[in-house]
Amino acid sequence: MKTFAFDFIVLGSGVAGLRAAAELADYGQTAIITKAAIGESSSEYAQGGVAVVMSDDDDIYLHYEDTIKAGDGLCDKNAVFTLVDEGPRYINELIAQGANFDMHEGTLDFTREAAHSVNRIIHAKGDATGHEIVRSLKNSVSKKESIKRFENVFAVDIIQENGMVSGIFAIEESSQEKVVFSAKAVILATGGAGQMFKRTTNPPVATGDGIAISFRAGACQKDLEFYQFHPTALTMKNTPAFLLSESMRGEGGVLKNIHGKRFCHNYHKLAELAPRDVVSRAIFSEMQKTDSEFVYLDLTGLEKDFVKNRFPKIYNTCLDFGLDITKEYIPVSPAAHYYMGGVETDLWGRTSIEGLYAAGETACTGVHGANRLASNSLLEGVVFGGRSAKAAIVDSKHKTLQKNNVDYKDEIDLSDKYEVYLQEIQETMWENVGVVRNFDGLAKAVSYFNEKLEMISDKKPANQKTGEIINMFYVGKLMALAAASREGSRGAHFREDFPEKSKEDFHIIFKDGKFSPINR
């Protein structure tokens, strides 16, 4: 069994993880551990942009109010203020380090997305914002000699000594060798869990690993019922659910049913620019009414060269699929996109376990509440990735590395049935814990995951594929239990058997590694 010792460990290498690692590297030996290649994450594929107050026509209080309103009563106001207040400084820092955002007449080019009151979205290369930020951060990290990168290494569990985090137990995928990493602090930045669903905009790495391993370690989880479904993902046979950015509607694209009629104005006064949960349910409802598998996103009213220049990646990708979006309607439907819930943290990324931190989509900072405002996620990753690192640095000053002992004898190997279990999980979640939910469906999902977790018992995964499936069993049960516990509709969580919004504002918490939801 291999062993390594570092001052700090960062799990994951999206925007939050890379930003954290860049901060940590100046204060100690830092390991970035990622189960794929460095940078492979949902961040890499983020198209729309970054919501940030850097225009003379905007101010942080407007951004604050827009975020609070989208969160439907469940945002942590202090977290939201921290995000909008510190966001400009972090983005200016990225620019100084070489991130190239699109300009217009010598200044940043701002656009608008759903539920924003003003144009405040900056973007890069039209629709490749996440890629540009990841590129810039990867470049910064590569210059830090105190950072060691471990690619294709899968974190199995968090190691604790005397109630404090002391490291990570992992599997090296190429050799299947077990590895123990010791550290004074661990930052979880493993992203979301979109692969839980049959339709998702997320890459294959998004299997909820950070939530699962922190839950098993006893860390508090919060708001796990709130999964955002992006309204517009490409819906064509034999093609992935390719994300079609919110900005396409912000720039004037409209939604039409299969009969060519606009419908969003029937559901919300902001029509296509209503909050994402509203637009997703409007599309879902329209699909049911017309007995169709999609609606249309129509950009044909926009100038052709503008569309090609503003959305080059989307234009070329759709063209590869045989669709010219400047001439043809685009078939779209909702897809799992972003997890508002996650590992509960304070404003500095601290979890309920000493020495364990979380940032980015893995974390629940309270910024998003019941529904994330468009383009707030990349900003959250940068801001709270930096803040979690700062906290870890301060908290670890007087800590010493612990000697870790790991017992890893009882293994299970599900890799030969990986595709079977993945399909079962995705269909179970899509049908029962998707855009529209009810008690019977949620109970069915809980029953499925109960059965699978009983099969696993306390066995450890023999490899990464098995570990991912086990983690998805955990996250699936947690999400379904949380959704069943919230008997009312709020933000991205819609219960057709409880369609009204609950009068009380509360959060659903899981603590101490128990599948027992608590209202708080």
pLDDT of residue 458: 87
Question: How is 87-99 classified by DSSP, letter by letter?
Answer: HHHHHHHHHHTT-
Is residue 389 in some structural domain? no
Closest CA to 195 of 371, 382, 421, 481: 421
Is residue 280 in some structural domain? yes
Residues 26-53: tens digit of each pLDDT: 999 999 999 999 999 999 988 889 999 9
Determine how many CB atoms are found less than 10 A away from the CB of residue 172.
16
Distance set, CA 129 to CA 13, 124, 231, 364 (Å) = 16, 4, 19, 23
Is residue 322 in some structural domain? yes
Distance CA 333, CA 226 (A): 19
pLDDT of residue 215: 99
Is residue 515 in some structural domain? no
Distance set, CA 391 to CA 8, 214, 386, 397, 496 (Å) = 12, 18, 9, 10, 42
Host domain of residue 241: 232-335
Is residue 156 in some structural domain? no
pLDDT of residue 48: 80
* Inter-residue contact 11 to 190 (CB < 8 Å): yes
pLDDT of residue 45: 86
Is residue 294 in some structural domain? yes
Tokens 């509960």, located at residue:
344
Residue positions annotated with a catalytic role: 276
Assign residue 299 the CATH number of its domain: 3.90.700.10
pLDDT of residue 47: 85
Determine how many CB atoms are found less than 10 A away from the CB of residue 27.
17
Helix (H) or strand (E) holding 227: strand 227-234
Is residue 302 in some structural domain? yes
Burial class (CB in 10 A: 0-12, 13-18, 19+), 455: exposed
Give pLDDT < 70 ranges for the chain: none
Is residue 181 in some structural domain? no
Domains contained in the chain, number: 1
Distance CA 11, CA 7 (A): 14
Distance set, CA 461 to CA 156, 167, 487 (Å) = 8, 18, 35
Distance CA 412, CA 416 (A): 11
pLDDT of residue 63: 98
